[in-house]
Amino acid sequence: MVSHAPSGLQFWQIDSAGIERYREVQVTCPVANVGDFFAWPCAETMLAGLLAVYRCIPQLAVWQTEKRWVGAPIRQQTGLLRNKRVIILGSGAIGQAVAQQLSGFTSAIQFLARTDPKAQLHSKAELQAALPETDIVVNCLPGSAEGFFSAELIEAMPPTSIYASVGRGNTTDEPALIAALQTGRLGGAVLDVTAQEPLPTDSPLWAMPNVLLTQHSGGGQPEEDEGKVRILLRNLQNLQHQQPLENEVELSRGY
């Protein structure tokens, strides 16, 4: 990746929410990302994945392709999303959308955010202390939080709990996560992101019945490209009229 933007660049509209990979690029012009454009669809993916795991949808889908009717026995394996204790890592737009959607399930929600005064948890130590009484962890962290969800944190989760991630793949200790899933130290996982994408074919995650992989499709939505263009056009108009930009960011800070 280049470290300097073209000298004549007057404005840079990034077409994603995450900008971590551009932190080293030196620019003198304004830069903006797409803000919360992907927040709601990403949250819906997390909600859909959690519901699917609790309601045994992946197994039922396999039986459907096999034209195999199992019926009543699967009822004993189903769970409920209702009243679950949830910790959301990151209180940004995606985390807020996840919380809003989970509110319909009367979930008890805590946020982890280092600098947000409205969050209930502000440090890794506080998070680790809260994890044993948690049913679901939803990771919405940016790539700048590399390795944050460590083996120690995974170990602190109850064996029936579910780990869901729509942040960045590098924020999770993936080998530790795989080990916990393989040994029953974790109930399941919903992963929109992985450490390496595409996920290598030899990854154990592919074959785990308690893992749902959504292949970084979380931000997908109708007219996705058109929506990005509309954001760009509005910002170009803002520049022309010397108005504040939508979703202006500082590359060096990562947000």
- Per residue in 109-134, pLDDT (tens digit) is 999 999 999 999 999 999 999 999 99
CA atoms within 13 A on the CB side of 125: 0
> pLDDT at position 255, please?
80
Pairing of strands 85-89, 136-139: parallel
For 29-81, write each residue's pLDDT tens digit: 999 999 999 999 999 999 999 999 999 999 999 999 999 999 999 999 999 99
Please, which pLDDT band fits residue 221 given cuts at 50, 70 and 90? Answer: very high
Pair 123, 130: CB distance under 8 Å? no
Q: Tell which residue, 21, 32, 33, 28, has the closest CA to residue 5.
A: 28
What CA–CA distance (Å, rounded) separates 253 from 255?
Answer: 6
What CA–CA distance (Å, rounded) separates 92 from 141?
Answer: 9
Give catalytic residues, as residue numbers: 168, 197, 216
Please, which pLDDT band fits residue 1 given cuts at 50, 70 and 90? Answer: low
pTM, two decimals, is 0.95
